[in-house]
Amino acid sequence: MDAKSSYILSESFMITYNILYSMSSTPIISQLINLKCTACSKKYEIHRPINLCECGKVLFAVYNLEEAKETVTKESFCKRTRSIWRISEIMPVYEEKFRFTLGEGCTPLLHLKNMGENLGLKQLFVKDEGLNPTGTFKSRGLCAAVSKAVELGIKEFVIPTAGNAGAALAAYSARAKAKAHIFMPVNTPEIIKKEILATGGDLRLVDGIISDAAKEARKEAEKSEWFNMSTLKEPYRVEGKKTMGLELAETFNWELPDVIIYPTGGGTGIVGMWKAFTELEEIGLIGSERPRMISVQSSGCAPIVKAFEEKKDKASFWEGAETIAPGLKVPEAIGDYLILKAVRVSKGTAISVQDEEIMTAMYELAKKEGIMLSTEGAATIAAIPKLLNKGEIEKEDKIVVFGTGSGFTTISLW
Ligand SMILES: *Cc1c(COP(=O)(O)O)cnc(C)c1O
Ligand SMILES: [Zn+2]
């Protein structure tokens, strides 16, 4: 090839490249319009930081879905970023420079063929959230919440946590040049403490469990005006977790699975996915069918299961919570009414498993599939034989369990 034609070739390559590049880098516009209370429907504007509604209940972000429809199309996805910002039309951050990322989201959906054979299930899948940057799906929620808060001008956060949310807050705060104050039970796994210290979090160890940490955090927050990042006590962590639902829909080619089995603590994952499905239906990407949402808790802390069985629409405080699954040691959830609604409306159920069953499932999955889940994720696997027995799931069902964290986060238990 002579110099001239190679020049022309490289020039045409550059032109094509520039066009493609400018197409893919056109900022996607967030269609966030306001916040609305999930209990009393009161609306709030979005230009200043806010935690809960005046009535004390959870606020949800509302989007202009008619506008979002224009650009959120099945064809539009191939060139999009692989992070939680993939469908930024229905994410809360306006300016691209505030859409921080550490590569969270777009986790693999793995077919559990060996495990499924054993259980007689042909279509058993795990969404492996352990591959998120901080080893759990908490990356998603805190990525969204930190990004939005920083866009609103906040630079200092406080969080009560069973561990993983603290690690994620510390990491995303480092990324966004903000400060994270983390209140966490003293017996949280060492690896999580180290992760928080490594990423510059201000770690305060508290005697007791997450509800005790929450009291300390609240006191400090009132004194200092640090912004409270407790789950569902600010409106945007749930937006990050919503992306799990968006990804499931996309991965299954816009037909949702029959069943989702989810290890429930604060419930943000279930509530977030449920919101995602509502928005996707309004945009026109999915129909009205929903998976049965199944909430799994540890028998040592099962307030949602108890409320479900007692047909209540809110849960009461679980005294003396004790389980090897730190993320499930949550004795009360502010979004209890939202979790219970999603479970009931979807004709799902709530079920508890013993710690020993969790450990057995954790080892079995690792041996059979090479996948090391954290104790919380393994709880979903432990629930399967019980759900089959009770007729809550059937052999033909397409089932997705959520491996919410990497085995490394609870490695001290192996
Ligand atoms: C926080 C956490 C949970 C519970 O998640 P929610 O969405 O708050 O119910 C489950 N698994 C792991 C690993 C967690 O860190
Ligand atoms: Zn309200």
**What mean pLDDT is predicted for residues 131-154?**
98
Which pLDDT score, from 0 to 100, does residue 414 have? 86
Q: Report residue 17's pLDDT band, with 50, 70 and 90 as the boundaries.
A: very low
Question: pLDDT tens across 280-298, in order?
Answer: 999 999 999 999 999 999 9
| 44 CA distance to ligand 2 middle (Å) | 10
- Mean pLDDT of the chain, nearest integer: 93
Residue 213: is it exposed, middle or buried by C-beta count within 10 angstroms (0-12/13-18/19+)?
Answer: buried
Atom 6 (ligand 1) nearest CA: 267
Q: Is the pLDDT of residue 224 over 60?
A: yes
**What mean pLDDT is predicted for residues 136-146?**
98
Question: pLDDT tens across 258-287, in order?
Answer: 999 999 999 999 999 999 999 999 999 999
Q: Is the pLDDT of residue 376 over 80?
A: yes
Percent of the residues in the chain that have a pLDDT greater than 70, as a whole number: 94
Q: Is the CB of 243 under 6 A from ligand 1?
A: no
Q: Is the pLDDT of residue 15 over 60?
A: no
Of 136, 239, 304, 402, best ligand 1 pocket probe by most atoms within 8 Å of the beta carbon: 136
Q: Where in the chain is the domain with CATH 3.40.50.1100?
A: 109-134+236-413, 138-228
**What mean pLDDT is predicted for residues 60-81?**
93
What's the CATH fold of domain 109-134+236-413?
A: Rossmann fold (3.40.50)
Tell which atom from ligand 1 comes closest to the C-alpha of 231: 8
Q: Is-contact 129 107, C-beta < 8 A? A: yes
Atom 1 (ligand 1) nearest CA: 327
Percent of the residues in the chain that have a pLDDT greater than 90, as a whole number: 89
Which pLDDT score, from 0 to 100, does residue 23 have? 47
Q: Report residue 25's pLDDT band, with 50, 70 and 90 as the boundaries.
A: low
Q: What is the 3-state secondary structure (H, E, C) of the chain?
A: CCHHHHHHHHHHHHHHHHHHHHHHHCCCCCCEEEEEECCCCCEECCCCCCCCCCCCCCEEEEECHHHHHHHCCHHHHCCCCCCHHHHHHHCCCCCHHHCCCCCCCCCCEEECHHHHHHHCCCEEEEEEHHHCCCCECHHHHHHHHHHHHHHCCCCEEEEECCCHHHHHHHHHHHHCCCEEEEEEECCCCHHHHHHHHHCCCEEEEECCCHHHHHHHHHHHHHHHCCEECCCCCCCCHHHHHHHHHHHHHHHCCCCCCCEEEEECCCCHHHHHHHHHHHHHHHHCCCCCCCCEEEEEEECCECHHHHHHHCCCCCCCCCCCCCCCCHHHCCCCCCCHHHHHHHHHHCCCEEEEECHHHHHHHHHHHHHHHCCCECHHHHHHHHHHHHHHHCCCCCCCCEEEEEECEEHHHHHHHC
Q: Is the pLDDT of residue 27 over 70?
A: yes
The CATH class, in words, for 138-228 is alpha beta
Q: Is the CB of 374 under 6 A from ligand 1?
A: yes
Tokens 């979903």 found at:
380
Cα 247 from chain centre: 11
Which pLDDT score, from 0 to 100, does residue 26 have? 75
**What mean pLDDT is predicted for residues 153-175?**
97
**What mean pLDDT is predicted for residues 29-57?**
97
Q: Is the CB of 164 under 6 A from ligand 1?
A: yes
Q: Report residue 20's pLDDT band, with 50, 70 and 90 as the boundaries.
A: very low
Q: Is the CB of 323 under 6 A from ligand 1?
A: no
Question: pLDDT tens across 87-118, in order?
Answer: 999 999 999 999 999 999 999 999 999 999 99
Which pLDDT score, from 0 to 100, does residue 405 have? 97
Give dist(CA 169, CA 149) in Å, integer.
12
Ligand nearest to the CA of 377: 1
Which pLDDT score, from 0 to 100, does residue 123 have? 98
Q: Report residue 24's pLDDT band, with 50, 70 and 90 as the boundaries.
A: low
pTM exceeds 0.75, yes or no:
yes
Q: Is the CB of 263 under 6 A from ligand 1?
A: yes
